[in-house]
């Protein structure tokens, strides 16, 4: 669904309305060595995409703290 309205968020920048639907906070998987597990991350995003949901990534679960 395309945005049907726009508004400002208290700044001079215009912000478009987001699409409807389900927005899922996505985990950021790490390996045992505390590196990003990009293979698992990609397969998880593909699975969520096939389920028809939108993603919210990076920071929703506190994973930004261990990232350089």
Q: Which of 45, 64, 47 is nearest to 55 (CA)?
A: 45
- The tokens of 8 are what? 């400002």
Q: What is the pLDDT of residue 1?
A: 47
pTM to 2 decimal places:
0.60
* Beta-carbon contacts of residue 56 (< 8 Å; ≥ 6 apart): 23, 24, 25, 26
Q: Are 58 and 28 in contact (CB under 8 A)?
A: yes
Residue 27: HSE in the Cβ half-sphere, 13 Å Cα cutoff: 8
Give SS3 for 40.
helix
- pLDDT by residue (tens digit) across 2-56? 444 555 556 666 666 777 888 888 888 889 998 889 999 999 999 999 999 988 8
């Amino acid at each position: 669904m395309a945005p049907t309205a726009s508004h400002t968020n208290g700044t001079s920048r215009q912000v478009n309305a987001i699409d409807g639907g389900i927005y899922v906070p996505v985990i950021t998987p790490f390996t045992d060595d505390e590196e990003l597990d990009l293979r698992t991350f990609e397969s998880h995003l593909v699975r969520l995409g096939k389920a028809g949901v939108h993603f919210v990534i990076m920071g929703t679960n506190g994973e930004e703290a261990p990232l350089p």
